[in-house]
Amino acid sequence: MKQVAPGVHQLTIQRFVNLYFVETGRSGEWVLVDTGLPGAAKDIIAAADKLFYPGTHPEAILLTHGHMDHAGNARELAEHWKVPVLAHPWNCLS
């Protein structure tokens, strides 16, 4: 994981897929942007726990679009963290 801007950390999973932990500006609050290919949920949860604190969760999961390399773990992570998944309706058609 690397910091790409203040409050923005990039995690590369499965060698070529990027997702982002973005702090909201409020202490301890963050969102997850994209979720990678299926099968990476445990790695994403572990990265969040390491970056923030064990048991942390985002305020929401934001999907840039509906392709599998961006949305593959969205359902599993949303159910684990009990948070909403936000995406434009047209993004879900691709």
Residue 5's DSSP bridge partners are: 8
Asked if 8 and 21 touch (Cβ cutoff 8 Å), the reply is yes
pLDDT at residue 34, as a whole number: 96
Cα dihedral across residues 88, 73, 35, 52: positive or negative:
positive
pLDDT at residue 94, as a whole number: 47
Asked if 27 and 41 touch (Cβ cutoff 8 Å), the reply is no
**pLDDT by position in tens, the chain (length 94):** 999 999 999 999 988 899 999 999 998 899 999 999 999 999 999 999 999 999 999 999 999 987 788 899 999 999 999 999 998 776 554 4
Asked if 44 and 72 touch (Cβ cutoff 8 Å), the reply is no
pLDDT at residue 92, as a whole number: 54
- Hey, what are 16's tokens? 């070529």
